Amino acid sequence: MTNSAKTPVAVLISGRGSNMGSILDACESPDFPVRVGIVISDNPKAEGLKVAKENGVDTLVVKRSDYSSKAEFEEVIDKAIRETGAKLICLAGFMALLSEDFVNGWHNQIINIHPSLLPAFKGLEAHQQAIDAGVRFTGCTVHIVRPEMDAGPIIIQAVVPVTKNDTADSLASRILHYEHVLYPEALRLLITGEAEIKGEKTIINNGRWQKTGHVNPAPLI
């Protein structure tokens, strides 16, 4: 598949953009149906901007403080994305909350990754929330964005065990590995049409569903 034949997407970041990096790595494969048309950051010092440039991707910095209103800030972002012809917007550590108008203007076309098994542990410090709750499993979720925080149809999830010695940092590190697996796969599912959004559910066609269960801690008998 030539690069021009791939479907363009936009990626929004605020920091290092490690999930953006996993998407860019996936785009290197001739069979991956996506290319990144633009990377936009609200933070001019975001480390991910350098990574995007090194990969030959156009970048744009849009600082909220440069605009008199959130609507004006989002209008600039919206215009830049539409000029690339992007079909999806990938939130990859983008810390600015998008307005209801913006989200509705890209209905079912904005995806996000969150480090928990949604709908559990929404918001900030999801890893610590999981530890404090004493759960034995947590994970990460790629989902379609809705105006409500960390809400929307779930596309794909990964389960990660929580151990008795875990800290928020150690748990985050293990979950991040699976975030990098899930985000490109979610994009592939959506772009190929294997994932269909119907109401508030995502229907996966031809998926390889796993039926085995897991116990944590594992029984000794």
- Are β-strands 88-91 and 110-114 bridged in parallel, bridged antiparallel, or unpaired? parallel
Q: Tell me how far CA of residue 70 lies from CA of 17, 124, 196, in angstroms.
A: 23, 22, 31
Residue 5's CB: how many other CB atoms inside 10 A? 9
Q: Tell me how far CA of residue 205 lies from CA of 44, 154, 209, in angstroms.
A: 40, 14, 10
Place of tokens 């933070």: 43
For 6: left if phi > 0, alpha if psi spans -120 to 50, otherwise beta; the answer is: beta
Find the catalytic residue in 114, 177, 180, 214.
Answer: 114
Is 214 marked active-site?
A: no
Give the E-state strand segments of 24-171 in sequence order: 34-41, 59-61, 88-91, 110-114, 137-144, 154-161
CA 175 to centroid of chain Cα atoms:
13
- Are β-strands 154-161 and 137-144 bridged in parallel, bridged antiparallel, or unpaired? antiparallel
Catalytic residue positions, numbered: 114
